[in-house]
Structure 1
Amino acid sequence: MDMALHLARPCASPSLRSESLTCRSSQGRQPAKLQFRSLRPRCDSSNASEAESADSLKASAVSRRQALVKGLVAGLAVPSFFGLQSASAEPSEAVDEKTRELQTDEINAYTYTYPVSIGQGKTLSWVESRKPERYSSAAPLAPDARQRIVSERIDLKNNLVISVSVGPPNSAFLKTNDINTWAPKAVAQSVLADKSTARMTMGQRVAEVSIVDAHKEEVDGVPYFYYEYLVQKSPTMMQGGVDVFRHSVAVTTEREGYLYSLNASTLDSRWDMMGPAFNETAKSFRITPPTEEYVPPYKDPWRFW
């Protein structure tokens, strides 16, 4: 992130000079001002300093020794001062990575972990809005909504969403069935095109998804495609004409001809706090060996036995 630094000119008269360092983000965020105070003598106090120097020569050796010790302590305290200033500039809320819960879905055979608390002992208010359910390939309500959500949890207070979807690949982006030939960005486009998250204008989709990053990793010989993206949402009455951006991280893999995707998102303004935790959630996503509860996505959706 490009940062513009402006150092205000210090005042020349006070004995306690104050310097302000303003950091202004190119993304339009509110500038943060760090105040640095340093002890400096007045410019018009040279005579008083000479008098004090003359008096100090008459002090005892013990006094000089004490003054030397105080000077050393003050010199060592300067790095600590700047260290405290840097720490205070960090967000007051940070996700506690030690408190995570495991989500297991035996119906669709996958697992992942998710954060349950943030800094200062605050607990995230997760609600399982959609319990794990089998995938249904019945005709979707919209032609671009073939990726079906099979489980979801939300935190309305902090505007957080974690969901898992299952659906077939989109042949417009993935030309072959060989997963080893798939490009990470093409996988992301295939999933996002079938999620129906864009606006609808006169029956036509308006592209509003921006893929920030996409890459592939192999875990135990299974390719996993990780991608980060922004979705532009319509403005609300509270926000006026300013569009809202949701920041998301996702991971997709393939099994039996279907894509399994985990998606974690929040408001872009909260990404600095939740982004690292959501990245860990994406990294933890794994498809697991099927159990007796497993229902393959290709099974007839109209048969429940």
Structure 2
Amino acid sequence: MDEDVKMATLVDPINAYSFLYPVELPGKKFTFKWVESRKPERYSSAAPLSPDARQRIVSERVDMIHNIVISVSIGPPNSRFPPSKDKSKWDPKDVADWILAEKSSLKVTTGQRMTESSVLDAHSSDVDGEPYWYYEYLVRKSPTQSAPEPNLFRHNVACTAERDGYLYSLNASTLSKQWESMGPSLQKTVASFHLLPPTENYVPPYKDPWRFW
């Protein structure tokens, strides 16, 4: 893993989480060009990303020049998940499959549809006594004018944690052909994802769940 990367911290007090994101690779004289496409906002006012309005992106930053996206989404488990109320027994692959199943009906930022995904790895780790689930997967995207190749894949790494009956997921992705150079930085981002102790600014997802303002 490339240790030579400068990171910055994002703290979202509304949803009580934080993570690091890469800003520069000094050794390669490379600078990320981030745009905050969705500023952190409460779950109830975040734009619904599926017809049932369950999964919602509460923050997102995009480097359009280098085709990198980092987003945080929140949503409740559906009726088929989880199989056990004891989250320490949840299988990491099941968590990954559930999150991806929820996303499969979503339109992604570019207006394309996620057409196919395959999980490469899934594991869990204990963070401050709470289970965090980490997974890596590929998504095949529909060809576009700017990327006409029929087998265009996005390489994704993600982390999910549970609080108050809701799943908080950070997802970082780039094109597969850029993974070798960008992947280590995105893996650091995912590894840094952390739910924070709520402050007075915290708005739980279940508060005013159908309020869109």
Tell me if TM exceeds 0.5: yes
CA contact 1:95–1:117 (8 Å) conserved in 2: no
User: Relative to 1, partners in 2 of residues 1:246 and 1:303: Cα closer, same or farther, differing over 3 Å?
Assistant: closer
TM-score (norm 2): 0.87
8 A Cα contact 2:104 2:115, kept in partner? no
How many aligned residue pairs are there? 207
Letter in 1 for 2:18: T
Partner amino acid, structure 1, of 2:23: V
Aligned pairs for 1:69-108 within 5 A: 97-108=4-15
Larger Rg, first or second structure (1 or 2): 1
1:214 aligned partner: 122
2:153 pairs, out of 245, 252, 264, with 245
Q: Which amino acid aligns with 1:236?
A: T
Contact 1:252 1:262 survives alignment (8 Å): yes
For the aligned residue pairs, the C-alpha RMSD in angstroms reads: 2.6
Cα 1:158/1:240, change in 2 over 3 Å: closer
User: Which residues in structure 2 correspond to 1:37-76 (within 5 Å)?
Assistant: none
Higher relative contact order at CA 8 Å, sep ≥6: structure 1 or structure 2? Answer: 2
Task: Tell me what 2:98 maps to.
Answer: 190
Query: Does residue 132 of structure 2 align to residue 224 of structure 1?
Result: yes
Fraction of identical pairs, as percent: 59
Residue 283 (structure 1) aligned with residue 191 (structure 2): yes
Task: Work out the CA distance in 2 between the residues paired with 1:198 and 1:300.
Answer: 23
Distance 1:240 1:298 in 2: 42
Counterpart CA distance in 1 for 2:24 and 2:2 is 6
**Is 1:114 the counterpart of 2:26 in the alignment?**
no
User: Are 2:67 and 1:164 equivalent residues in the alignment?
Assistant: no
Check the 8 A contact 1:170/1:191 in 2, yes or no: no
Q: Would the aligned equivalents of 2:33 and 2:63 in 1 still touch at CA under 8 Å?
A: yes
1:116-171: per-residue Cα shift (whole Å, max 9, x none)? Answer: 01343221101111100000289946347622100000000000000001001133
Structure 2 unaligned blocks of 5 or more: 108-112
CA shift in 2, pair 1:144/1:176, >3 Å: farther
Q: Structure 1's 175 and 139: CA in aligned 2 closer, same or farther, altered over 3 A?
A: farther
Q: Distance in 1 between matches of 2:188 and 2:74?
A: 21
Query: Which structure shows the bigger proportion of residues in helix conformation?
Result: 1
Q: Point out where structure 1 has 5 or more consecutive residues left out of the alignment.
A: 1-93, 200-204
